[in-house]
Structure 1
Amino acid sequence: MTCWLDAQSLQLPIIDISPLAGRQGDCTTVVKQLEQACRETGFFYIVGHGIDEKLQQRLEDLSRQFFAQDLATKMQIRMALAGRAWRGYFPVGGELTSGKPDRKEGVYFGSELDADDPRVKANLLLHGKNLFPPLPDFGETVLEYLSVMTGLGHTIMEGIALSLELESSYFYDRYTANPLILFRIFNYPPDEDPHSESWGVGEHTDYGLLTILKQDDSGGLQVKTGGGWISAPPVANSFVCNIGDMLDRLTGGFYRSTPHRVRNPSPSDRLSFPFFFDPNFDAQIQPIPTRQIIQDDLYERWDKASVHQLQGTYGDYILSKVAKVFPDLRQTI
């Protein structure tokens, strides 16, 4: 059953994916709900996902411990120390959206790869070891979270494949057998001036296939719709999912990536945990043969860039985007 949130004139659906996550029962309703959500809003909540609440709470508690430290301590795992792996901490204002500094700090993580991994030996950007804070259980908790969320990413993409009348393994077989996993922990300080033009994160769309977001109880996420901006408030033990530009590209615009932004409305810090489930770095991005571009929204997009004109690998694409987010690290490309 799809539930609805009371959020202005348009709401985001809550989809119980337990038939998909449990690999049992009739998935017909879930698949229909996924299609509707991906076509109408590009955003939806999921419940019935099976991710341990205690693990989620442990991750949140450890993250608050980390961000409560002084800047000098946090900078001991600054991103510059990770080199081409692009992992570690950045301070408030250290990340850009549309060329403007975001009002957030954060830590970047990814799949943990040893030096003898072929991708590390090949010196591929975005591949390597993580920089974990020296807090007890922090690294272990993040890696456990990455593992279960990767499984959840596969599950949701199976449902999305079915919603496109494809084999459930369509994305796995072509793009995500070895997905590029990018995980962020963001901390948004209180907004000192709610009327300013400074955003925690400005208007943007996500680059990849699928984003699975855990957020705390502060709120602040906003989604752009044809009727204006609506809120995506917290829902207990749910994740907010949204499709990214690559799914927009693969489906020929049948499923659209949706702009969103964040402003912390709380008088205290706000935490969010976006998990990006993306194609393999070397994957050649080819539209699904049965889908054609319905309408290229080049001039309507926030960045005035057409995802439908992309050529090459996903790695080529993502590096061009990340370099704009962290200009100080461009020299590593």
Structure 2
Amino acid sequence: MAALPLLDLRRLETDRAAFLAQLRAAARDPGFFTLTGHGVDPELERSVVEEAHRFFALPEAEKLAVQMVHSPHFRGYNRAGAELTRSRPDWREQFDVHAEREAVPQRPGLPAWTRLQGPNLWPAAQPSLRPALLAWQAALSRLGLRLLGAFAEALEQPADVFHPLVGEEPGQNLKIIRYPAVAEGEPEQGVGPHKDSGLLSFVLQDAVGGLQVETREGWVDATPIPGSFVVNIGELLELASDGYLRATVHRVLSPRGADRLSVAFFLGARLDATVPVLALPPHLAREATGPEADPENPLLRSVGENVLKGRLRSHPDVARRHYADLLAEAR
């Protein structure tokens, strides 16, 4: 495989059956594809990229004022090396935004994952960042839900089969990310090999490149194509389809010579949902081999528990400050 499959979402209207077959095949193997014809406003894209560059150019003190360690909800800024993948630091600085919702008042007996919901942190020095990123998050949520509906049809399911998972409050996580250029011989883990934990992921890349997908033939570059998104299947869709759809390991290599900027959006399930197993038709069920199991990172069907587990592993500084009670219980 020399390149990822290329899908044009406009064909969902003009050649529906062919598009759905192509979508089902791409999401099964390799579990990644490049999406064009998605209809997201290019002016909004330009604005978001501009705001991202402005944010990363802020003085360090302004960025640290909204550092993630200040948020019990895992929102805000992280310096390069602060987030871990498989216990190793990722060499990227980033700013995380989730669904803008009120914090859940805590009382005895509430599941710990309810502490994940809450407001975002926003830099006082850049008030234009908030409307741009929330507009992008809304646009990508609409795109993600539309594509999720296409997956329901491609898997020969009722149109609303995923509604219990997303409802009116799907999981939303947006990251603007800067990968600093590194010199020859320096560590090259921009992001270590991993799978995404949600439903669908959408990555807007600049021209620098570095995103790679692990296929049966080895690592394949997700070549940047202007006006497109790299889309991949998350572990929740792998769980729901009993392994028919595939969440694929991928990584980002640190760039040489020039920094890399990307904007990633992750559509997830609502925190209080439980992932079902879809009743696939026999000709598809025969090809569902079950989700892959990782003894060191087991997948949980309780969405909230699964998300909290991932956040605690990836952000140990936030875990120590805001979830010390859970760490003590685990010990």
The interval holding the TM-score normalised by the smaller chain is 0.7 to 0.9
Letter in 1 for 2:311: V
Deviation at 1:305, TM superposition (A): 3.9
Q: 1:297 aligns with which of 286, 292, 295?
A: 292
Q: 2:68, 2:260 → 1: CA distance?
A: 21
Q: 1:73, 1:175 → 2: CA distance?
A: 35
Do the aligned partners of 2:164 and 2:273 also contact (CA within 8 Å) in 1?
A: no
Q: 1:247 aligns with which of 237, 242, 246?
A: 237
Do the aligned partners of 2:199 and 2:235 also contact (CA within 8 Å) in 1?
A: yes
Residue 321 (structure 1) aligned with residue 310 (structure 2): yes
Do the aligned partners of 1:110 and 1:130 also contact (CA within 8 Å) in 2?
A: yes
Letter in 2 for 1:11: A
Q: Secondary structure at the match of 1:85?
A: coil
1:49 aligns with: 38
Letter in 2 for 1:242: N
- Unaligned 5+ runs, structure 1: 1-8
Do the aligned partners of 1:280 and 1:314 also contact (CA within 8 Å) in 2?
A: yes
Q: 1:165, 1:278 → 2: CA distance?
A: 21
Q: Secondary structure at the match of 1:59?
A: helix
Do the aligned partners of 2:239 and 2:291 also contact (CA within 8 Å) in 1?
A: no
2:90 aligns with: 102
Q: Mean alpha-carbon deviation: is it higher for 216-225 or for 122-131?
A: 122-131
Residue 207 (structure 1) aligned with residue 227 (structure 2): no
Deviation at 1:174, TM superposition (A): 4.0
1:138 aligns with: 129
Do the aligned partners of 2:188 and 2:254 also contact (CA within 8 Å) in 1?
A: no
TM-score, normalised with respect to structure 2: 0.88
Letter in 1 for 2:81: G
- Higher relative CO (CA 8 A, sep ≥ 6), structure 1 or 2? 2
Do the aligned partners of 1:191 and 1:263 also contact (CA within 8 Å) in 2?
A: no
RMSD: 2.0
Q: 1:188 aligns with which of 164, 179, 183?
A: 179
Q: 1:222 aligns with which of 196, 212, 231?
A: 212
2:68 aligns with: 79
Q: Secondary structure at the match of 1:277?
A: strand
Indicate the percent of aligned positions where both proteins have the same amino acid. 32
Letter in 1 for 2:46: Q
Q: How many residues are matched?
A: 311
1:28 aligns with: 17
**For 1:127-150, what per-residue CA distance to the aligned partner results, in whole angstroms no more than 9, with x for missing partners?**
221112231421110111111111
1:3 aligns with: none
Q: Secondary structure at the match of 1:32?
A: helix
Do the aligned partners of 2:180 and 2:254 also contact (CA within 8 Å) in 1?
A: yes
Do the aligned partners of 2:173 and 2:267 also contact (CA within 8 Å) in 1?
A: yes
Do the aligned partners of 1:249 and 1:287 also contact (CA within 8 Å) in 2?
A: yes
Q: 1:12 aligns with which of 1, 4, 16?
A: 4
**For 1:137-172, what per-residue CA distance to the aligned partner results, in whole angstroms no more than 9, with x for missing partners?**
211101111111110010110111111111222112
Letter in 1 for 2:2: L
Q: Secondary structure at the match of 1:186?
A: strand
Do the aligned partners of 1:202 and 1:262 also contact (CA within 8 Å) in 2?
A: yes
TM-score, normalised with respect to structure 1: 0.87
Deviation at 1:126, TM superposition (A): 2.7
Do the aligned partners of 2:98 and 2:120 also contact (CA within 8 Å) in 1?
A: yes
Residue 279 (structure 1) aligned with residue 274 (structure 2): no
Do the aligned partners of 1:206 and 1:245 also contact (CA within 8 Å) in 2?
A: yes
CA separation of 1:73/1:234 partners in 2, compared to 1, >3 Å: closer, same or farther? Answer: same
2:147 aligns with: 156
CA separation of 1:48/1:121 partners in 2, compared to 1, >3 Å: closer, same or farther? Answer: farther
Q: 2:200, 2:215 → 1: CA distance?
A: 19
Letter in 1 for 2:292: D
Letter in 2 for 1:317: N
Residue 168 (structure 1) aligned with residue 155 (structure 2): no
Q: Mean alpha-carbon deviation: is it higher for 252-261 or for 282-291?
A: 282-291
Deviation at 1:111, TM superposition (A): 1.3
CA separation of 1:104/1:33 partners in 2, compared to 1, >3 Å: closer, same or farther? Answer: same
Letter in 1 for 2:78: F
Deviation at 1:239, TM superposition (A): 0.5
Deviation at 1:121, TM superposition (A): 6.7
